[in-house]
C-alpha cells in the first residue's frame, strides 16, 4: 500500500474506534458511511454531527416522556 492508502486505512480505523464500542465494530461496520465521513473536512464532519444532535433534540422535545 502507498502512504495515502495507509493513512486512509488508519483514519477509517480511528473513526470506527470513536463511533463504535469494540464489541460492536465487527458487526456494525459500514464502509460506505466511513468513506463518506472521511471524504469530508473536519469542519464538514462536525457540521453533520451537529445537525444530527439538533435533530435528536428536536425529536426528543417534540415527544416528551412525562
Residue 1 has pLDDT above 80, yes or no: no
Q: What was the pLDDT predicted at 51? A: 94
Q: What was the pLDDT predicted at 32? A: 86
Residue 47 has pLDDT above 90, yes or no: yes
Q: Angle CA(47)–CA(23)–CA(5) in degrees, nearest 5?
A: 55
At 44, list the grid cell: 464538514
Residues listed for the chain: 66
Q: Which residue has the higher pLDDT, 15 or 46?
A: 46
Q: What is the pLDDT of residues 32-46, one digit of tens each?
A: 888 888 899 999 999
Q: Is the pTM of this model over 0.85?
A: no
Residue 10 near residue 36 (C-beta atoms within 8 A): no
Residue 4 has pLDDT above 90, yes or no: no
In whole angstroms, what is the distance from residue 59 CA to residue 27 CA? 27
In whole angstroms, what is the distance from residue 36 CA to residue 8 CA? 12
Amino acid at each position: 500500500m502507498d502512504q495515502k492508502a495507509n493513512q486512509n486505512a488508519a483514519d477509517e480505523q480511528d473513526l470506527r474506534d470513536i463511533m463504535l464500542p469494540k464489541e460492536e465494530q465487527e458487526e456494525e461496520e459500514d464502509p460506505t458511511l466511513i468513506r463518506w465521513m472521511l471524504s469530508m473536512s473536519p469542519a464538514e464532519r462536525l457540521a453533520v454531527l451537529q445537525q444530527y444532535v439538533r435533530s435528536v433534540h428536536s425529536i426528543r422535545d417534540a415527544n416528551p416522556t412525562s
